[in-house]
Amino acid sequence: MERPEMKPSPISATVDFDKDGVQHGFLRLPYSRDDSAWGSVMIPITVARNGKGPTALLTGANHGDEYEGPVALMDLAYRIDPAKLSGRVIIVPAMNYPAFRAATRTSPIDRGNMNRSFPGRPDGTVTEKIADYFERILAPMADLVVDIHAGGKTLDFLPFACIHHLPDKALEKRCRAALRAFSAPYSVMLLEIDSVGMFDNSVEAQGRIFLSTELGGGGSSSARSNAIAKRGLSNVLIHAGILKGEVETSLSIMLDMPDGDCFTFSEHDGLFEICADLGAEVKQGDLLAKIWPVDRTGVAPVDYHAKRDGILTARHFPGLIKSGDCMLVIAVREG
Ligand SMILES: [Zn+2]
């Protein structure tokens, strides 16, 4: 989006985006503070390029407590071989770097949620300055963007890659081809409940292919979820014609989220008992969760039932729950 009145970004890259080979460096964001008067936030970045060709921008830790992205992207940055590329790969394993270092969803500096801060501001908070750099500098360089998410400390997901229904059907088709290439165990047409300020929309609005994931959760990663992220990223790079090789596809169950009934939010505080596990085929009316009081015995729990038929796709992760928490997500098989 053209916003000609904008100031230049305060972030400077220590890498040259137009140079062939592999460079490991930083996005340096000046951040003056008590423990470092003329200090900076140093966001690690790798650029690998071999001649002309498409550009992929690969990002993790948009939310600081989601780990498949940082793990798979640290691994890719360490072993990427420019001789096997035609084009360019830009890797940022931890977009919200202050949040990543604090192991929190949002930034400890300004409480900024990166994925609600787009398009950002060059003269805003630290989180807004990072968002602005991705909006105006990095996303415009990219033909496709893969942003690896997971559930963080408070959600757990079936491992899926996802795209959105888009008004631009030609772009949606290209996103869908990338989704198929990623080949996660599940592929979801994701309905967003709170889409203002998301990186997703900012990239899609720039007409670029955008793919995201939710690969697990609970505030850590697993051998399985890390392997899905690593294979998916290399599949997408091969699909885009940037990396040499063969796409390794496997069966992916395609899911859709037709409306708001896919989500159940808690209306109670208490002790959370989940009654079906992720991946379970559920029928409307099935008992999916109970919330017990935390302060006394002899009181019946509150029951929560499935609002529709489908597959249990996400759940609240911690053992205690609060009113307003997203408790359950049900998606339906497409077609
Ligand atoms: Zn996330």
- Residues 104-140 have pLDDT tens digits of 999 999 999 999 999 999 999 999 999 999 999 999 9
Q: How far is the CA of 297 from the centre of ligand 1 (A)?
A: 36
Residue 3's pLDDT is: 61
Q: How far is the CA of 154 from the centre of ligand 1 (A)?
A: 11
Query: Mean pLDDT throughout 155-172?
Result: 97
Closest-CA residue to 233 (of 106, 26, 13, 48)? 48
Neighbours of ion ligand 1 (CB under 5 A): 63, 66, 149
For residue range 180-201, list pLDDT tens digits in order: 999 999 999 998 888 899 999 9
Strands 270-274 and 87-92: unpaired
Q: How far is the CA of 94 from the centre of ligand 1 (A)?
A: 11
Structure tokens given for 26: 């930083």
Average pLDDT, the chain: 97
Residue predicted with more confidence, 270 or 335: 270
- The mean-pLDDT minimum among 1-15, 76-90, 244-258 falls in 1-15
Q: How far is the CA of 212 from the centre of ligand 1 (A)?
A: 9
Q: How far is the CA of 84 from the centre of ligand 1 (A)?
A: 30
Q: How far is the CA of 138 from the centre of ligand 1 (A)?
A: 19
Distance in angstroms (rounded) separating the CA atoms of residues 291 and 44: 42
Give the predicted TM-score (pTM) of the model. Answer: 0.96
Q: How far is the CA of 186 from the centre of ligand 1 (A)?
A: 17
Q: How far is the CA of 178 from the centre of ligand 1 (A)?
A: 19
Q: How far is the CA of 51 from the centre of ligand 1 (A)?
A: 33
Q: How far is the CA of 64 from the centre of ligand 1 (A)?
A: 8
Distance in angstroms (rounded) separating the CA atoms of residues 158 and 153: 15
Structure tokens given for 170: 């030609």
pLDDT surpassing 60 at residue 1 = no
Distance in angstroms (rounded) separating the CA atoms of residues 147 and 118: 14
Residue 6's pLDDT is: 84
Q: How far is the CA of 62 from the centre of ligand 1 (A)?
A: 6
Contact 210, 175 (CB under 8 A): yes
pLDDT surpassing 70 at residue 2 = no
